Amino acid sequence: MQTDSASGGACSVPLPARAHLPAGWRDVPVLDIVIPVYNEEKDLGPCVQRLHDHLVRTFPYPFRITIADNASTDRTPEVAARLAASSEEVRYTRLEQKGRGRALRTVWSASDAPVLAYMDVDLSTDLNALLPLVAPLISGHSDLAIGSRLARSSRVVRGPKREFISRSYNLILRGSLQARFSDAQCGFKAIRGDVAGVLLPLVEDTGWFFDTEMLVLAERAGLRIHEVPVDWVDDPDSTVHLVKTATDDLKGVWRVGKALAVGALPLDRLTRPFGDDPRDRQLPGVPRGLARQLVGFCVVGALSTLFYLLLYSGFRTFSGSQVANALALLVSAVANTAANRRLTFGVRGRDRAMRHQAQGLVVFAIGLALTSGSLAALGAASGNASHGTELAVLIAANLAATVLRFLLLRAWVFPEGRYAAAAPEASYELTYAHDPRDAR
């Protein structure tokens, strides 16, 4: 098995290429649905019976329902044990600590099923969305799947308070963590077992923020998240403490955002792990990743130029043009190298970060020579040029240096062969396709 070094000294294990599960699968359940519960003696029995009946009628693969008891103090353990004894498709697991995330991590990590899911005990989500939720994972199309109450075609019945909190929370995620999924906390999600084995060790939260953290890390790592619009009816008897949950979620957003900003998460363990991204294919005459790198470089370059011009204008108020230009270039060069490192060339973690910055400063020196030379030429030609003329000359000089900067970053600072994520051979098949008994 191929391994390589990841941030923080962890080992990166490439995952096999996604593939459709074999049609004749029968040795172990294809789907393991976890129902986390805490003091649900009243609703647990009807919930499990309804879900079991639905799966028997509609699901074409073997399945399992796992009740994960989060240290209940009522008769929930007795009810769960009775349900497990009455059906071979139902299992019961007892945890002595509370936390939905802790329950999901415990059961999913130990499960032998290739597709893992969970849903809330109140069954607020219409069960007709279950097969569309897991189908993309069974087919090998996607890595995770989530139900969305905020999709346009979803049909949701809930009070204005919960609606406001849900939409506000997802707006916060979009603004602070650049999340693109629409609904982080709908209690209706699924993940491939091989992905869970690598992703879950990176998720720290053990409570309600577990879902959000898992989705943010998966999205940042380039995994595919499938969204299913759902019909959802609010449970008026929900025991969720909204204020405490919201507070804990915001703390989680801050923690994850900070970790992502400083590169503390070894997401290179997940980045394009399957080797099946068509954008990574070699095409005659087209350097791999060139189109994406050009787009990223242009976006970073445009933002860096605006940042540089603002810095130059600020420094110019108390210094000469040459000093202002050097200071503005120095500050913007550090930011530019960091942004291109992460966004354009996909290098994550702290490995070689200082070396990259040093090489970026060499590129900066070339840019400084070009722009300073342009300013010197302008001064020699016109004597006392206006501020607007200086800016125009600097813009032209920066555009001229941009092409050279991109070539140097691509060929010298971030050479493709050295930092490309390790991809397994295309001949890899899904581990489960060989022998389901050896799946995990």
pLDDT over 50 at 425, yes or no: no
What's the DSSP call for residue 345?
S
Higher pLDDT, 435 or 116: 116
Region 394-418 average pLDDT: 76
State the Cα–Cα distance between residues 61 and 23, nearest whole angstrom: 9
Measured CA to CA, the distance from residue 218 to residue 270 in angstroms comes to: 8
pLDDT higher than threshold 80 for residue 368: no
Decide: 19 and 426 in contact? Cβ < 8 Å: no
Across the range 202-208, mean pLDDT stands at 90
pLDDT at 208 over 90: no
Question: Where is pLDDT greater, at 136 or 172?
Answer: 136
DSSP code of residue 127: G
At 380, the amino acid letter reads A
Asked if residue 420 has pLDDT above 70, the reply is no
Mean pLDDT confidence for 352-357: 83
Is the CB of residue 215 less than 8 Å from the CB of residue 148?
no
Residue with more model confidence, 330 or 280:
330
Angle of helix 130-138 versus helix 44-58 axis, rounded to 10: 60
Name, in order, each residue with C-beta under 8 angstroms of 81's C-beta and a sequence gap of 6 or more: 92
Per-residue pLDDT band for 7 (boundaries 50, 70, 90) equals very low
pLDDT at 22: 76
pLDDT band at 142 (very low <50, low <70, confident <90, very high): very high
pLDDT for residue 300: 85
Query: Quick one: pLDDT at residue 319?
Result: 87
Q: Does 354 score more than 70 pLDDT? A: yes
Packed helices 321-339 and 290-316: angle between N→C axes, nearest 10 degrees: 150
Tens-place pLDDT, residues 258-274:
888 777 777 765 654 44
Query: At 284, is the pLDDT very low, low, confident or very high (cuts 50, 70, 90)?
Result: low
- For the cut 50, the answer to whether the pLDDT of residue 355 exceeds it is yes
Looking at residue 421, its pLDDT comes to 40
> How does the average pLDDT of the chain come out, rounded?
81
What is the spatial distance between Cα 328 and Cα 308, in angstroms, rounded to a whole number?
5
User: Which amino acid belongs to residue 150?
Assistant: L
Q: Average pLDDT in the 349-359 region?
A: 80
Res 427: pLDDT: 32
Phi and psi torsions of 18, nearest 5°: -65, 140
Residues 11-37: pLDDT tens digits?
A: 445 556 677 777 766 678 999 999 999
Does residue 282 have a pLDDT over 70?
Answer: no
How many Å apart are CA 27 and CA 268, to the nearest integer? 33
Q: Please write the tens of the pLDDT for every residue from 86-101.
A: 999 999 999 999 999 9
**pLDDT at residue 220 is higher than 60:** yes
In a 3-state reduction of DSSP, which class is residue 398?
helix
Q: Cβ distance 20 to 428 under 8 Å?
A: no
